[in-house]
Structure formats: C-alpha cells, structure tokens
C-alpha cells in the first residue's frame, strides 16, 4: 500500500472527526477500525452531548434520526434524594441524547465524503518504529486474516480506552499506565419505562457512596418512555461490580420499576486530566486514547471532537514543514491543553472534591445550598468555583457547623485556580515538560479531600 500522510486508528467520534479534518486539508488519510462498517458508531455510552461542542467546532449538529431526545436541564440528587439541584436555562448544558449508531455513521460518512479512505474489519496490533519514530502500523484483516504493514508520516491513535498504539510505545513523553482510580467502570441499560417521563428533556444524576461509590448513577431520557440509565464507579472503589450497583439502583428507584431492558452492557472511561503530552515522535493521540474526557461526568464525545479538529490542522502544518517529531507536532499540545485541557484538569480537582465528601456531608451541602447550580456550570466551563467575598460569607453562615466542608470547598477553589494557571503556562516545547509536569503532579497530590 502507498505510504499515507496520516493513518488514524479507530473510527469512533474522535477518529472520524480527526480523519475528516486531515482529508479536508488535503492529506491522504487512511482510517482503520476493527468493526464492520455498519457497526461503526456503536458504543456503550450515556449518549448525551452538549450543543456547545458543535458550536465550538463547526461540526453539524445532530438531526433527524440521530436525535433521541432534546435535553435542556438536569436534576442532580444527593444521596438522600432530597433538595436536588435543578440546573435549568444554562445554554452550555443544552444538547441531546443521540442514537449513537446513527450519529457515528454520519461522522464516518462525512469523513469518507471528505476523501478519507476507510478500511473496516481491521485489527491494528501495534505501531511500527524506526528508532523512536513511529512510521506506521501493523494490522490484521479480520475478514481475510492477512497481515499487513501500512506506512505513514503520522499515526493517530484514536482507538479509545484501549489506546492500542499508546500502550505499545516507550518514551518519557508518553504516559502508558493510567491509575485505576482515574478510570470509571460503568454499566448502562437502555430501558423502556412502564410510566412516561414527566420531564422528558431533563437528565437526572445521582450522587452518593451507596448508589455509586466515587461515581454517579444517571437516567438520561431517550424519548418519553425510553431512557439510558447506568452507574459509573471509579476503579478500585466499592465492593461490587458497576452492574450490581445498577441492579440495586434499578430496584430502588420507582421510575425504573417494571421497566423492560432493551440492551445492557459495561464499559470504561478515563476520568482525569488529559495526557501530559498529546504527541510523540510520529504519533498523536485523540479522544479517550488521549484521556480527553470530562472528569466529573465522563462525557468524552465533545472533548474528543474538539481535539480532532485541532489535530487535523496541526497534522497538515507539520507535514508541510516535514517535521513529524514531537517538537514538530507540539502545537497540538499548546492549542488544546491550555484551552479545553485546562478546563478538564480543573474539573479533575472538582471530581476529587466530590469523591472526598461523605454522603452525610453531601446531603448537608445540598440542603444548605453550599454548592449552587451556577457553581456546577461555572466549574464545567472551566471557570473554577468563583466564590466572591459576599458569596463566601453567605455560604459560611449557611454552612455553620460543617466548617470542614467549607474548608474543602475553599481548598478545591484554590487548587482549581492553581492548576488552571499551570495549564495556561503549558510549555512551548518539549524541553519544559518535566518541570511543568512536576508542578501539576504536586497540585494533584494536594487535591486530597478525605
């Protein structure tokens, strides 16, 4: 096979958008996936995506059969299911639950239309290397069992949580081992309800150690009588599997009583800041393979497609300059990490705060409104928890008796600011990475709220 400009491994949302952008910019782009073509897009997911990601990237919004439900609000419940936070009228939250297969098929077809060459039923085994420069991939065709090596100037690992290329590379720039406490193990079912939803445009989120240790349970509408409901728990925590927590939740939450299961499956998603470097020599990472996921809710479709658009542009520039070293690809880091990556890093601190608060304190915090819907939205936008002095005083009065909880909130606010400052000052080339990483790890180590 002729040497490609770019090989993208994985045709999930991040891979399709990246490949499409590469092809639109004139690069010969090969997209490989182990699935048959008509299954590309199928994915165990909560299926929810905010409109803001489409506005930021210019990618067409979901339409027609891609849309399961329009979502314009969320109810966030503490463990005792009382005093829930009602998030309404926040435009950056508005979006949809999508039919994952229809949405994924559209992204694939848009990539093919832009000129991407797509090969289905391809299992990519490993990268090929000359020294420490990635030069292509080695793969097996699952239909013919034939093994092939394909060469390219740049390999993009978009293989999702499996990170099949990243996991086979040894380089000080590339993080291989992800701590299990930074991975959410999930189980979700698509359910037909016995009773129609009263508010079919409102997502529900449930916090608490008994429902979902170090994670949360969700019910996202997919129509008036259909929902996507599941549980995500952070790896290593809890005594049971995500499925067992889900069974308990389903048996105790009246809305789900006597529902019929259409589909039930498990999955995993990283829930920490993105990789310290999204590039190596001859290689770049995007989507879950780059840990580009919102750490508080595990939403990664938006974070990955935002990165894909940037990566396509950086690939084009690097190939034009004929510099496919990590240094030559570094602008992907400097465009993504101080911007959207900054937001994700600050949300990792927020996730750690939520995980460090016990059920009783969570109930108290919700009852006394120590956290408002506005805080959640502002944290989600990457603006931290901006507690003004007057605001602080009001909350101190409301939180009297739980000073430790207020102190945790204040510590999280300060660490979110600190980490944001580090991300804004992300190094302009690889030489500054070690020092920067040390600063970031110090902040993360400090973000212990137990």
Q: What are phi and psi of 131, to 5 degrees?
A: 65, -125
Q: Which is nearer to ligand FAD, 106 or 408 (CB)?
A: 106
For residue 303, the minimal CB distance to ligand FAD (Å) is 7
Residue among 389, 279, 392 nearest 337 (CA): 279
For residue 388, the minimal CB distance to ligand FAD (Å) is 31
Give residues in contact with ligand FAD (CB under 6 A).
9-15, 32-35, 40, 43-49, 122-124, 158-160, 162, 164, 186, 188, 230, 267-269, 287-289, 293, 298-302, 304
Residue among 11, 227, 275 nearest 118 (CA): 11
Helix axes 403-424, 359-367, angle to 10 degrees: 90
Q: Which is nearer to ligand FAD, 9 or 112 (CB)?
A: 9
For residue 228, the minimal CB distance to ligand FAD (Å) is 8
Q: Which is nearer to ligand FAD, 96 or 364 (CB)?
A: 96
Rg (CA), the chain: 22
For residue 18, the minimal CB distance to ligand FAD (Å) is 9
Q: Which is nearer to ligand FAD, 268 or 326 (CB)?
A: 268
Q: Which is nearer to ligand FAD, 34 or 418 (CB)?
A: 34
E strand residue ranges, 115-176 = 117-119, 122-130, 133-141, 147-157
For residue 393, the minimal CB distance to ligand FAD (Å) is 37
Q: Which is nearer to ligand FAD, 275 or 370 (CB)?
A: 275
For residue 383, the minimal CB distance to ligand FAD (Å) is 20
E strand residue ranges, 236-355 = 260-270, 279-280, 283-285
Q: Name 119's Cβ contacts closer than 8 Å, sequence gap at least 6.
A: 30, 31, 32, 33, 141
Residue among 118, 116, 126, 175 nearest 147 (CA): 126
Q: Which is nearer to ligand FAD, 231 or 329 (CB)?
A: 231
β-bridge partners, 284: 156, 279
Q: Which is nearer to ligand FAD, 191 or 415 (CB)?
A: 191
Q: Which is nearer to ligand FAD, 7 or 406 (CB)?
A: 7
Measured between alpha carbons, how far is 10 from 164 in angstroms, rounded to an integer?
10
For residue 177, the minimal CB distance to ligand FAD (Å) is 18
Q: What are phi and psi of 317, to 5 degrees?
A: -65, -45
Give residue 310's region: left, alpha or beta (phi > 0; psi -120 to 50). alpha
Residue in the block written with tokens 């931290």 = 384
| 443 Cα distance to chain centroid | 21
Helix axes 389-398, 403-424, angle to 10 degrees: 150
Q: Which is nearer to ligand FAD, 35 or 418 (CB)?
A: 35
For residue 353, the minimal CB distance to ligand FAD (Å) is 21
For residue 220, the minimal CB distance to ligand FAD (Å) is 7
For residue 16, the minimal CB distance to ligand FAD (Å) is 7
Q: Which is nearer to ligand FAD, 123 or 180 (CB)?
A: 123
| 397 Cα distance to chain centroid | 36
Measured between alpha carbons, how far is 279 from 207 in angstroms, rounded to an integer?
35
Measured between alpha carbons, how far is 183 from 179 in angstroms, rounded to an integer?
7
Residue 211 CA: distances (Å) to CA of 25, 215, 324, 378: 47, 9, 47, 26
For residue 176, the tally of other CB atoms under 10 A from its CB is 12
């Amino acid at each position: 096979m002729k040497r490609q400009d770019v090989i993208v491994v994985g045709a999930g949302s991040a891979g399709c958008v990246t490949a499409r952008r590469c092809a639109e910019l004139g690069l010969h782009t090969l997209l490989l996936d182990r699935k048959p073509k008509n299954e590309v897009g199928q994915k165990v997911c909560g299926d929810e995506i905010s409109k803001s990601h489409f506005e930021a990237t210019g990618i067409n919004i979901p339409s027609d059969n891609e849309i399961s439900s329009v979502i314009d609000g969320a109810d966030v419940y503490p463990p005792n299911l009382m005093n829930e936070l009602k998030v309404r009228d926040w435009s950056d939250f508005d979006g949809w639950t999508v039919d994952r297969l229809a949405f994924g098929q559209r992204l694939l077809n848009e990539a093919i239309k832009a000129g991407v060459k797509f090969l289905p039923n391809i299992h990519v085994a490993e990268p090929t290397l000359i020294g420490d420069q990635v030069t292509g991939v080695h793969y097996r065709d699952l239909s013919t069992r034939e093994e092939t090596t394909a060469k390219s100037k740049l390999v993009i690992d978009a293989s999702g949580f499996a990170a099949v290329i990243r996991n086979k590379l040894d380089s000080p720039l590339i993080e291989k081992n992800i701590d299990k406490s930074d991975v959410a193990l999930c189980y979700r079912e698509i359910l037909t309800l016995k009773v129609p939803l009263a508010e079919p445009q409102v997502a529900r989120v449930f916090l608490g150690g008994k429902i979902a240790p170090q994670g949360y349970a969700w019910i996202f509408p997919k129509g008036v009588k259909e929902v996507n409901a599941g549980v995500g728990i952070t790896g290593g925590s809890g005594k049971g599997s995500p499925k067992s927590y889900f069974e308990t939740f389903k048996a105790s939450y009246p809305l789900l009583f006597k529902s019929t299961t259409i589909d039930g499956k498990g999955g995993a998603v990283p829930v920490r800041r993105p990789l310290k470097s999204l590039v190596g020599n001859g290689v770049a990472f995007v989507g879950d393979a780059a840990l580009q996921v919102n750490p508080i809710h595990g939403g990664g479709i938006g974070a990955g497609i935002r990165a894909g658009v940037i990566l396509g542009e950086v690939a084009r520039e690097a190939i034009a300059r004929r510099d496919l070293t990590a240094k030559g690809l570094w602008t992907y880091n400097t465009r993504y990490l101080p911007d959207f990556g900054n937001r994700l890093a600050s949300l990792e601190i927020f996730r750690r705060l939520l995980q460090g608060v016990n059920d009783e304190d969570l109930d108290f915090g919700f009852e006394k409104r120590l956290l408002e819907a506005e805080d959640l939205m502002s944290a989600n936008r990457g603006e931290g928890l901006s507690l003004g002095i007057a605001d602080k005083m009001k909350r101190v009065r409301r939180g009297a008796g739980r000073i430790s909880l207020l102190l945790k909130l204040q510590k999280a606010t300060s660490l979110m600011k600190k980490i944001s400052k580090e991300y804004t000052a992300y190094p302009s080339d690889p030489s500054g990475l070690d020092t920067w990483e040390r600063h970031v790890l110090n902040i993360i180590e400090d973000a212990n709220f137990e």
